[in-house]
Amino acid sequence: MADAFTIHWFRRDLRLDDNTALFHALSSGHPVIPLFIFDREILDELPQQDARVDFIHRRLSEIQTQLTALGSSLLVYYGKPEEVWPQILADYPVVAVHTNHDYEPYAKTRDEHIGEFLAGQGVSFMTWRDQVIFEKEEILTGAGGPYTVFTPFSKKWKAMLTEERLASFDTESLFGNFFPTEPLAIPSLAEMGFAPSQIAFPPSIADPEVIKVYDQRRNFPAIPGTTRLGLHLRFGTISIRKLTRQARLLNETYLNELIWREFYMQILWNFPHVVSGPFRPAYAAIPWRNVEEEFNAWCEGKTGYPMVDAGMRELNETGYMHNRVRMVVASFLTKHLLINWQWGEAYFAEKLLDFELSSNNGGWQWAAGCGTDAAPYFRVFNPESQLKKFDGKGAYVRKWVPEWETPAYPNPIVEHKFARERCLAAYQSVLKK
């Protein structure tokens, strides 16, 4: 065994190519142990059938195949990081640990604790920007504060972009620096109390034909007009630098969507109160109705509004929902049913393969009208007009709601005009005081 190792700690950067922290670890001069921890702090909260755990497991097996071909192996643990790290240091003479930034509140606290522990053991803990092009407080207003409105943020983002920022990290040329070993075992899903999922995962391919015409096709849920890369951006199975280079060449609207992702990440970082309540505090007082039967009808796709029902059934079956439909179902829950947006946010968090705390929270707060760059609350989506406009022939709805337009289909749970007025009255009751 070597007398000093460097560790690369994988979290949401599950790839060997163009990986910032991995590049720096491989350049460190010591053999590199690639590590993954199945974190019980996260896993213990999840249902047994969580497709995302299956996705991570499959992805680690693919990385293991790549590393085996290089004569190395992943080192995989199942446990709580604070318990696993002392064990690692007892087993290996580690001098440095490299990892990529994770901006979510739990991850931030975890990394602070692990960083302190490692420092106490004389091990350096080096962390890097990898999952975004600009992070934390890198994009600031002229006055020096974080942006809370998307358009000026995106302008500044584009103005600050350089070729250097988008350059890939050439990890491949350093692959000889992984520690040599026979393959080490990865805990099975069953050993961790999980079952494989029946959901088919989309490939991690950024199809240039989709991106080229993204602006023309992205709003129609019946056609494959979006890239389905959310899951891969979530777990880092695609490089944001490569994808941004492609977006910049092919389609400005697509590039803007990638910037929306970063906009919400920096909102989460700079305004962490959004995790537990509205960005605009006045909205905390909205008199939500929170009727459980209505919430259940929404979850099951039985509201009698075809676009809402199609979206919820697509989500339940596939772990995905088209963006246009996410906006419609979120608006319906919060405005038509007057159910707290946080109920919907939690349901999406459980079901979405591409669940991202920052974007999900941002999307829900936008829909409820209480977020940063929110649509004004008096703009209430009409689910029937949305259907006519974006699924005029009903192809999307028919796919997910086969009984639509038959007597078996439920009547609308609430009448649109009545719901709209009830919503405006509820919002005005707290906002006009």
Q: Which of 128, 157, 269, 341 is catalytic?
A: 341
Give the whole-angstrom CA distance, residue 413 versus residue 255.
Answer: 38
Pick from 44, 96, 109: which is nearest to 88 by CA? Answer: 96
- Catalytic entry in 138, 257, 270, 316: 257
- To ligand FAD, the closest distance from the beta carbon of 4 in angstroms equals 38
Binding of residue 348 to ligand FAD (CB under 6 A): yes
Quick one: 110 or 218, whose CB is closer to ligand FAD?
218
Considering the complex, what minimum distance in angstroms separates the CB of residue 228 from ligand FAD?
A: 4
As a whole number of angstroms, the longest Cα–Cα distance in the chain is: 74
CB of 100 to ligand FAD, least distance (A): 17
Element (H, E) at 94: strand 94-100
Q: Which of 23, 153, 264, 381 binds ligand FAD (CB under 6 A)?
A: 264
Q: How far is the CB of 359 from ligand FAD (least distance, A)?
A: 4
* Residue 293 C-beta: closest distance to ligand FAD, Å: 22
Measure the CA–CA gap between 352 and 51, rounded to whole angstroms.
9
Binding of ligand FAD by 92 (CB under 6 A): no
**Residue 258 touching ligand FAD (CB under 6 A):** yes
Whether 256 is catalytic? no
CA 91, CA 88: separation in Å to the nearest integer?
A: 5
Q: Choose, by CB under 6 A, the member of 74, 84, 255, 330 that binds ligand FAD.
A: 330
Is 52 among the residues that bind ligand FAD (CB under 6 A)? no
Instruction: Tell me the number of residues near ligand FAD by CB under 6 A.
Output: 26
Closest Cα partner for 127 from 94, 105, 100? 100
Residue number, 77 or 214, with CB nearest to ligand FAD: 214
Given 15, 57, 326, 351, the residue binding ligand FAD (CB under 6 A): 326
Q: Least distance in Å: CB of 56 to ligand FAD?
A: 16
Q: What is the DSSP string of 145-211?
A: SB--SHHHHHHHHHHH--HHHHPPP--GGGGGGBPP-PPPP---TGGGT-----PPPPPS---HHHH
Does residue 226 bind ligand FAD (CB under 6 A)?
yes
Q: Is 128 a catalytic residue?
A: no
Instruction: Say what the alpha-carbon torsion angle 182, 172, 239, 222 is, to the nearest 10 degrees.
Output: -80
Please give the backbone phi and psi of residue 425, each rounded to the nearest 5 degrees, phi first.
-65, -40
Query: Cα torsion for 50, 52, 58, 62, to the nearest 10°?
Result: -170
| Closest residue to ligand FAD: CB criterion | 363
**Cβ 45 to ligand FAD shortest distance, Å:** 17
Q: Is 85 a catalytic residue?
A: no
Nearest 5°: the CA angle 242, 351, 294 is: 140
328 binds ligand FAD (CB under 6 A): no
What would the DSSP string read from start to end of 361-388? HHHHHHHHT-STTPPPTT----HHHHHH
C-alpha to C-alpha distance for 113 and 121, rounded to whole angstroms: 13
Which residue, 97 or 328, is less far from ligand FAD as judged by CB?
328
> Is the CB of 153 or the CB of 364 nearer to ligand FAD?
364
> Is 288 an active-site residue?
yes
Cα(303)–Cα(313) distance, rounded to whole angstroms?
A: 11
- Contact flag: residue 240 with ligand FAD (CB under 6 A): no
Dist CA 228 CA 321 (whole Å): 10
Q: Kindly list the residues in this chain that would bind ligand FAD in the complex (CB under 6 A).
A: 218, 226-230, 233, 257-258, 260-261, 264, 323, 326-327, 330, 348, 352, 354-356, 359-360, 363-364, 367
Just list the catalytic residues: 257, 260, 288, 323, 341, 364
